[in-house]
Amino acid sequence: MTIELFRNDSYLKEHNTIISEIVPEGLILNETIFYPEGGGQPGDEGSITIDNQTINVIGTRYIDNKLVHLIENIDGLKKDEKVRLNLNWNRRYSYMKVHTSLHLLCSIIPLPVTGGSIGDGRGRLDFDLESKPDKEEVLNKINELIDKDYSIYISSITDKELDENPELVRTMSVKPPRGSGQIRMIKIGDDIDFQPCGGTHVDKTSEINHVKSVKIENKGKMNKRIILNF
Ligand SMILES: [Zn+2]
Domain boundary assignment for the chain: 3-87, 93-229
pTM of the model as a whole: 0.94
201 C-alpha to center of ligand 1: Å?
Answer: 6
DSSP 221: T
Name the burial class of residue 32, with classes exposed (0-12), middle (13-18) and buried (19+) by CB atoms within 10 angstroms of its CB: buried
Identify the pLDDT of residue 166: 86
pLDDT, tens only, 82-123: 999 999 999 999 999 999 999 999 999 999 999 999 998 999
pLDDT, tens only, 53-90: 999 999 999 999 999 999 999 999 999 999 999 999 99
Residues around ion ligand 1, judged by CB within 5 A, are 197, 199
39 C-alpha to center of ligand 1: Å?
Answer: 8
99 C-alpha to center of ligand 1: Å?
Answer: 6
78 C-alpha to center of ligand 1: Å?
Answer: 35
Tell me the percentage of the chain whose pLDDT exceeds 70: 97
Fold entry, domain 3-87: Elongation Factor Tu (Ef-tu); domain 3 (2.40.30)
Section 161-190 average pLDDT = 83
Q: How far, in Å, CA of 32 to CA of 30, rounded? A: 7
102 C-alpha to center of ligand 1: Å?
Answer: 8
50 C-alpha to center of ligand 1: Å?
Answer: 32
194 C-alpha to center of ligand 1: Å?
Answer: 10
Identify the pLDDT of residue 103: 96
**Superfamily name with CATH number, domain 93-229:** Threonyl-trna Synthetase; Chain A, domain 2 (3.30.980.10)
54 C-alpha to center of ligand 1: Å?
Answer: 31
The band of 136, judged by pLDDT with boundaries at 50, 70 and 90, is very high
Task: Please state, as a whole number, how many other Cβ atoms lie within 10 Å of the Cβ of residue 220.
Answer: 11
The band of 182, judged by pLDDT with boundaries at 50, 70 and 90, is confident
Identify the pLDDT of residue 171: 79
pLDDT, tens only, 20-38: 999 999 999 999 999 999 9
56 C-alpha to center of ligand 1: Å?
Answer: 27
The band of 179, judged by pLDDT with boundaries at 50, 70 and 90, is low
Given a cut of 80, whether residue 180 has pLDDT beyond it is no
Name the burial class of residue 112, with classes exposed (0-12), middle (13-18) and buried (19+) by CB atoms within 10 angstroms of its CB: middle
The band of 177, judged by pLDDT with boundaries at 50, 70 and 90, is low
Given a cut of 70, whether residue 42 has pLDDT beyond it is yes
Residue 135 in contact with residue 216, Cβ under 8 Å? yes
195 C-alpha to center of ligand 1: Å?
Answer: 8
Same topology for domains 3-87 and 93-229, yes or no?
Answer: no
